[in-house]
Amino acid sequence: MSERFEPYRLPRLSDEEMVAQSRAFFDEMNTRRSVRVFSPEPIPLEAVRNCIDTASTAPSGAHKQPWTFCLVTDPALRKKIRKAAEEEEFKNYHGRMSEVWLEDLKPFGTDHIKPFIEDAPALIVVFKQVHDTVDDTGKKPNYYVNESVGIAVGMLLTALHRIGLVALTHTPSPMGFLAEALGRPDNERAFLNIPIGFPAEGVEVPVLSRKPRADVLVEHHG
């Protein structure tokens, strides 16, 4: 990567515009919800690729960009992924998850059956690169990989919401089967399985409230 620097400028908004635009963007993002039931309608994949481009603008440790996004529509592959995910989830719901955990999940009505893996028109399976690709000099390190990929996924979810698509951040742990199913190299580990699409007609989501500002923001001003 270049060791040179280049000028950087952004348009400067007035304070009033900053408040108005940040409020409008909050209102937009505050309508984002995790959705578990998808319409089978196809989605414009070029728009999804653009969202992945946005995710890939995320900051990352030493700019290593330690992520891979697999965009999967292939029905046979999704059938295989669903089967393996449900096997892991069965074990999660029948022994691996604690009673408290199961109780915490009750409001969401989840269980080990995961039709959305096949019903959603596409999956974005996100991989983190735990180290850089191996060459004859050996492994090269990546840094703050979870933080970097987490930020990229946040930007992906934001970009998808912007164009009216819904997503579910699904973690059928342990997720080793995803690297195998998608033929990922040794340096990659599955981070999240994200079914995406349009919400199913008439879909409902759990009633929930978000923590108010006073519960999440602590300010210190000198």
State the minimum distance, in angstroms, from the CB of residue 206 to ligand IYR: 11
Contact 60, 148 (CB under 8 A): yes
Q: Which is nearer to ligand IYR, 82 or 170 (CB)?
A: 170
DSSP for 44-70, please give it. Answer: -HHHHHHHHHHHTTS--GGG---EEEE
State the minimum distance, in angstroms, from the CB of residue 92 to ligand IYR: 6
Nearest in space to 124 (alpha carbons), one of 155, 162, 92, 91: 155
Q: CA-CA-CA-CA torsion for 101, 107, 110, 115, nearest 10 degrees? A: -160
The DSSP element (H or E) to which 42 belongs, if any, is none
Q: Which is nearer to ligand IYR, 49 or 96 (CB)?
A: 96
State the minimum distance, in angstroms, from the CB of residue 114 to ligand IYR: 7
Which residue number has the CB closest to ligand IYR?
A: 110
* Bridge partner list, 177: none
State the minimum distance, in angstroms, from the CB of residue 171 to ligand IYR: 5
Q: Which residues bind ligand IYR (CB under 6 A)?
A: 89, 92, 105, 108, 110, 170-172
Give the contacts of 144 (CB within 8 A, at least 6 positions apart).
60, 61
Q: Which is nearer to ligand IYR, 86 or 132 (CB)?
A: 86
Q: Which is nearer to ligand IYR, 44 or 206 (CB)?
A: 206
Q: Which is nearer to ligand IYR, 105 or 163 (CB)?
A: 105
Nearest in space to 204 (alpha carbons), one of 27, 29, 36: 36
| DSSP-based helix, strand, coil % in the chain, nearest 5 | 40, 20, 40
State the minimum distance, in angstroms, from the CB of residue 74 to ligand IYR: 22
Q: Which is nearer to ligand IYR, 54 or 171 (CB)?
A: 171
| Residue carrying the six token digits 């973690």 | 171
State the minimum distance, in angstroms, from the CB of residue 105 to ligand IYR: 6
